[in-house]
Structure 1
Amino acid sequence: MIEAIIGFIVISTIAFKLYQKMTHTSFVSEVRIPNKVVIVTGANTGIGYETARELSKRGARVILACRDLQRAQNAATKIQSETGNDVIVKRLDLASFKSIRSFVEDIKASESAVNILINNAGTGVLDNSLTEDNLPIEAQANHFGPFLLTMLLLPLMKDLPETSRIINVSSVMHKFGNVDNLDKQADSFLGGRRVYSNTKLANVLFTKKLAEVVKNNNVTVNCLHPGAVSTDIFRNQPRIMKFLLKCLFLTPVEGAQTTIYLALAEHLDNVSGKYFSNCAEETPSKRALDREAADKLWDLSLKICFGEAGKQRVL
């Protein structure tokens, strides 16, 4: 009996892995983006690292925006040794509004424009604690932090001669999300486990709303599901779970392909407010298409990030 169960698990694992490999699409293009300024959050490992590495290979001036400066510097050194291009490291903690504002001031002092912003960083922490800004840590790191970062960087991105791109890394898990009370602590263990899905739905709703807001500013905004990828977001999982995920899931190189596609594909210059997976546009969940929910989340996010006057904020 035990042998049969083990055999079933092994065969199922192999079948799932083969399915992943057979249905996965890689982005193939010779496009180069010399001297374009690209910010990638969470770029010291995983999908973010592979995205930064690929864009650096294509000539971009890549800024690694990371919480852990030592790991980010190690990543930058590796990328520089491979590409020969300049890679910048700056500290950014998306669970701290103070850190975000400091980062943006630093960027404004050193850059006249930002061409591509990739909101890649995310967390799946099993932690229901509050940040220094009195927000659930996962909600702030995955949504409110990237929201504030994006809004503060927009003056450097809009109305440039060439289209600027904002790319939000979401997840298929958005289909199980609900953004009601996103700013409140979950009141149960089960509710806490759902926070990740809620934040990923927020990523899609934010994408669609922001795309409407900047439609006349030569900025596109799109989001994506990278696939089931073995990354550091699972670092807090039990060891056996991390081993299984590594066996089953895509590699970070494979998981970065849709992000790279959205950053580089020339035919996407006028495509905005869309959800992608496997280098192709897909229809997100019904909740992700709810305009009322998008408007409410937009207002809430402005209020949390900019205070009571946030709703009257003009880009």
Structure 2
Amino acid sequence: MNSLMHVIGVVDPQDMNFLTKKSKFTSRKAYSSSKLAQLKFSSILQKFLMNTNIHVMCVEPGAVRTNVTRDLSRILNILYQKMFFFMFDAQQGSRSALFAATDSDNLDYCGDLKAQGCNVCAFIGCHCRISEPSKEAYNERTSFEIWNKTMEMVGLPAGGVDMILQGEEIHCCYGANSDR
């Protein structure tokens, strides 16, 4: 699941967890940046799956009533409560995921993206339509940096996806310094 909030996300591949404190941590910044990173990671995953029948899509459920405001200020929580009427319930929020999984046009679109060598995977919006992701989502250099950093963070070998596709067993060693 992704979010249109990826549009305002900024990802520093060397500090994806905001540990260096180069920029002030906020829940909005963390959320939007994580969604951009997820979209960029998914786009590289699609490249590794280029010659397979497996398609990658990022899906936005829209504004769904959740406990997302638990860390926001009291004022923002009050505003959130006022917006509740305009938000999707859980069932409505699942529509875009069901659309992504079942509409055959989406498979054709994903196939077209692969054939064109597109730098980004499909993005399905909350109104059950193929949507255009942010301009930054197309930045292949940072997408590969995010891919490599994520693989390092979870302890997967650089060629892990190819190894899995070839039927090899690999082990994830969470944390870069774990024994392999």
Count residues with an aligned counterpart: 145
Matched, 1:173 2:5: yes
Distance in structure 1 (CA, Å) of the matches to 2:136 and 2:16: 14
Residue type of the alignment partner of 2:147: W
1:61-104: CA deviations, max 9, x gaps? xxxxxxxxxxxxxxxxxxxxxxxxxxxxxxxxxxxxxxxxxxxx
Alignment of 1:1-315 (within 5 A): 169-180=1-12, 181-185=15-19, 187=21, 190-193=24-27, 194-237=29-72, 238=74, 240-272=78-110, 273-277=121-125, 278-306=127-155, 310-313=157-160, 314-315=163-164
Distance in structure 2 (CA, Å) of the matches to 1:208 and 1:281: 15
1:9-44: CA deviations, max 9, x gaps? xxxxxxxxxxxxxxxxxxxxxxxxxxxxxxxxxxxx
Residue 203 (structure 1) shift: 1.5
Q: Is the 8 A contact 1:220 1:270 kept in 2?
A: no
- Could you say which structure has the larger radius of gyration? 1
Distance in structure 1 (CA, Å) of the matches to 2:30 and 2:71: 16
Counterpart secondary structure, 1:267 = helix
- TM-score, structure 1 as length reference: 0.42
- TM-score, structure 2 as length reference: 0.70
Q: Is the 8 A contact 1:235 1:242 kept in 2?
A: no
Residue 195 (structure 1) shift: 0.9
Distance in structure 2 (CA, Å) of the matches to 1:235 and 1:264: 33
Distance in structure 2 (CA, Å) of the matches to 1:286 and 1:300: 21
Residue 248 (structure 1) shift: 3.2
Residue type of the alignment partner of 1:249: M
Distance in structure 1 (CA, Å) of the matches to 2:136 and 2:58: 15
Higher strand share: 1
Distance in structure 2 (CA, Å) of the matches to 1:197 and 1:298: 17
Counterpart secondary structure, 2:25 = helix
Residue 235 (structure 1) shift: 4.1
1:189-216: CA deviations, max 9, x gaps? 8433311110010121122111111122
Residue 236 (structure 1) shift: 4.4
Counterpart secondary structure, 1:223 = strand
Distance in structure 1 (CA, Å) of the matches to 2:71 and 2:84: 14
Structure 2, unaligned runs of 5 or more:
111-120, 165-180
Counterpart secondary structure, 2:137 = helix
Residue 172 (structure 1) shift: 0.9
Structure 1 pair 312–188 and aligned structure 2 pair: CA distance change class (3 A):
closer
Residue 179 (structure 1) shift: 1.4
Structure 1, unaligned runs of 5 or more:
1-168
